[in-house]
Amino acid sequence: MNNIAGNLILIGLMGAGKTTLGKQLANKLKRIFYDSDQVICERTGVSIPTIFELEGEAGFRTRETAVISELTQQKDVVIATGGGAILQIENRLNLQQNGHVIYLHAQPEVLLNRIRHDKNRPLLQVSDPLAKLQELYSLRDPIYRATAHTVLDVNSPYSFHSLNRLIRLIRQHSKQIPQL
Ligand SMILES: Nc1ncnc2c1ncn2[C@@H]1O[C@H](COP(=O)(O)OP(=O)(O)OP(=O)(O)O)[C@@H](O)[C@H]1O
Ligand SMILES: O=C(O)C1=C[C@@H](O)[C@@H](O)[C@H](O)C1
Ligand SMILES: [Mg+2]
């Protein structure tokens, strides 16, 4: 694994496992791990739902863009992004140009099963969270695919297998693109 250079960046919908798998990947590769959501919470001292409440989604997105811009200037780190980070063109370009971007893909039904009891995702605090996830999937799946260099299917509950598959994919990609 040591022949892989460059940042490794995870994108995908809420519950795809960007934070979970990102930490495992960083651990395995002995790299520093950053999670843009966590950095925003550390800096503001409040939770994501509180930021949405006080500043709206627009305020959160402004903070997210600033953090993504900063994190993508790091070298050889693993970055888990927030699910909506790809909505801004500025973020998409920053991510694409400063690392190997991996889209963790899973179906809305699978995602909801993982996160249905977690109240920390303001966009899903609605009467029909599955419909919301389906709407986000329709809107964002094409954007995730267009932004990513690699797509990894993570519908499987065995995240350990996902980690091994992720590492294989990164290896293949870094052989094709030697500067990575
Ligand atoms: N492959 C998997 N199989 C089963 N459960 C998983 C898998 N990946 C993640 N999970 C679980 O799903 C939940 C959400 O995962 P995680 O927080 O990593 O998602 P995320 O992509 O970072 O979401 P967000 O965009 O909201 O930050 C966690 O409880 C995690 O343990
Ligand atoms: O998908 C989204 O838009 C979000 C995902 C989370 O990671 C957080 O960034 C926030 O809850 C918004
Ligand atoms: Mg996360």
> Could you read off the pLDDT of 124-171 as tens digits, one per residue?
999 999 999 999 999 999 999 999 999 999 998 876 678 989 999 888
pLDDT at 3 over 70: no
Question: Please, which residues bridge with residue 153 across strands?
Answer: 105
Q: Which amino acid is at 26?
A: A
Nearest-5° Cα angle at 60, 13 to 55: 135
Domains of the chain, by residue range, sit at 8-172
Instruction: Tell me: pLDDT of 180 over 80.
Output: no
How many C-beta atoms lie closer than 10 Å to residue 12's C-beta?
Answer: 27
* Nearest residue by C-alpha to atom 8 in ligand 2: 82
Q: Could you tell me if 124 and 170 are in contact, meaning their C-beta atoms sit under 8 angstroms apart?
A: no
Tell me how far the alpha carbon of residue 35 lies from the centroid of ligand 3, in angstroms: 7
How many A from CA of 179 to the centre of ligand 1?
30
22 among the known binding-site residues?
Answer: no
Please state which CATH number belongs to domain 8-172. Answer: 3.40.50.300
Does 81 contact ligand 1 (Cβ within 6 A)? no
Is residue 1 over pLDDT 50? Answer: no
pLDDT band at 37 (very low <50, low <70, confident <90, very high): very high
What pLDDT, on the 0 to 100 scale, is given for residue 158? 75
Q: Which of 10, 11, 14, 119 to mutate to test the pocket of ligand 2 (most atoms within 8 A of CB)?
A: 14
Reading the block at residue 10, the tokens are 């995870």
pLDDT reported for residue 146: 98
pTM over 0.90: yes
- Which pLDDT tens digit goes with each residue over 41-82? 999 999 999 999 999 999 999 999 999 999 999 999 999 999
Which helix (H) or strand (E) segment holds residue 50: the answer is: helix 48-71
With cut-offs at 50, 70 and 90, classify the pLDDT of residue 179. very low
Minimum-distance ligand 2 atom for the alpha carbon of 36: 9
CA distance 11 to 96: 11
Cα-to-chain-centroid distance, residue 144: 10
Q: Where does the pLDDT of residue 5 fall: very low under 50, low under 70, confident under 90, or very high at 90 and above?
A: confident
